[in-house]
Amino acid sequence: MGPPSLSKVITIDGQSIPFIDGQTIMDAALAAGVYILHLCHNPQFKPHGSCKLCTVSVNDRKVTACTMPAAEGMVVENNTHELNADRKVLVQMLFVEGNHICPACEASGNCQLQAAAYYLSMMSPKFTQFYPSYEVDASHPDVFLDLNRCILCELCVRASREVDGKSVFGISGRGIGTRLAVNSESGRLGDTHFSVSDSAAHICPTGAILIKRQGYKIPIGQRTFDHKNISEVQMELLEPDHE
């Protein structure tokens, strides 16, 4: 697409980035090939702004790049030592509030949470683990739902609602008790119209939604993030031929 008039610019880490009205800082950055770490954001969907990993500093105020509209003259700091240190704490928080046991997880190597931790050189979760208790839902013939690994990014909620037109998922509870909820009286995935061909079945950045009978098809060591870092992978997703 030929940009009509990209006369407006913001700067990110000193680099001039053009934008058009309506674009967020994230949109403008990604379009210009500048990576901002993100987990709950996916350019396919309306910005959500919950994981806070894309927090950048704009004129010394912290905002989420995925939700903040770009405005002429914004001076944005993104890839700084301070911000990356803060982002690492956020990833550590996500690790301890759930049960993320990477070495034993089927999603290891394909997990964006793990990849974000690699990206930020996180060596340990540091905080005391919460060890919440969840039941694994294997009621669906083709898909496992394992909330131990859910980071509440709501990508599956959005995909099922906006793309699949099914609203299979929602959010219930409050605070630390917030949970991904399934749209059936039993609360089980098997009692919904969810299908393995739904886009929501393939959007989970971690291993909370796993396709059955696919386990370890690709051996660990040959998986996405075993060879590339999260910035390369997420930038590749934006390329037109990847649609």
Partner 1 sequence: MQTYELSKIEQQIAPLLTRYGGESNMLLQILREVQEIFNFIPPDAITAIADHLGVPRTDVEGVASFYSFLSLTPVGEYRILFSSSVTDQMQGSSELMQYFCQKLWLEPGKVSEDNLLSVDSTSCTGMSDQGPAALVNGYALTNLNQERLDLIADLVRDRRPVGDWPSILFEVKDNIRRSGTLLGDPLVPGNAIKEMLRRGSAETMLEIERSGLRGRGGAGFSVAKKWSLCQDSPGQDRYIVCNADEGEPGTFKDRVLLNSYMDLVCEGMTIGARIIGAKKGFLYLRGEYLYLRHKIEQVLARRRTAGLLGKSILGELDFDFDIEIHLGAGAYICGEESALIESLEGKRGRPRNRPPFPVSQGYLGQPTLVDNVETLACIAQIIVHGGEWFSSIGTLESSGSKLLSIAGDCSMPGIYEYPFGISLQEVLDDCGAEDPYAVQVSGPSGVLISSKEFRRLICFEDLPTSGAITIFKRGRDILSVVQNFTHFFAEESCGFCTPCRVGTQLQKKLVDKIVNDHGAACDLEELKKIGHIMKGMSHCGLGHTASNPVMDLLEKFPDVYQERLKGLEFEPDFDLDAALETARNITGRDDSWAHLP
| Contact footprint for partner 1 (CB under 8 A) | 47, 49-53, 55, 62, 64, 67, 69, 86, 89-90, 93-94, 96-97, 127-128, 130, 152, 161, 167, 169-178, 181-185
Q: Whose Cβ is closer to partner 1: residue 146's or residue 154's? A: 154
| Gap between the Cα atoms of 197 and 214, Å rounded | 14
Going from the C-alpha of 16 to that of each of 4, 8, 10, 65, 87, the distances in angstroms are 18, 10, 6, 16, 24
Q: Whose Cβ is closer to partner 1: residue 97's or residue 106's? A: 97
* Amino acid letter, 60: D
| Gap between the Cα atoms of 128 and 78, Å rounded | 29
Q: Whose Cβ is closer to partner 1: residue 86's or residue 137's? A: 86
Question: Looking at the DSSP assignment, which residues form a beta bridge with residue 136?
Answer: 146
The count of C-alpha atoms lying within 13 angstroms of the C-alpha of 209, restricted to the half-sphere facing its C-beta, is 29
| Gap between the Cα atoms of 99 and 149, Å rounded | 6
- Closest separation between CB of residue 80 and partner 1, Å? 13
Q: Whose Cβ is closer to partner 1: residue 97's or residue 198's? A: 97
- Closest separation between CB of residue 87 and partner 1, Å? 9
Q: Whose Cβ is closer to partner 1: residue 106's or residue 164's? A: 164
- Closest separation between CB of residue 213 and partner 1, Å? 27
| Gap between the Cα atoms of 100 and 125, Å rounded | 10
- Closest separation between CB of residue 179 and partner 1, Å? 8
* Amino acid letter, 140: H
- Closest separation between CB of residue 96 and partner 1, Å? 7
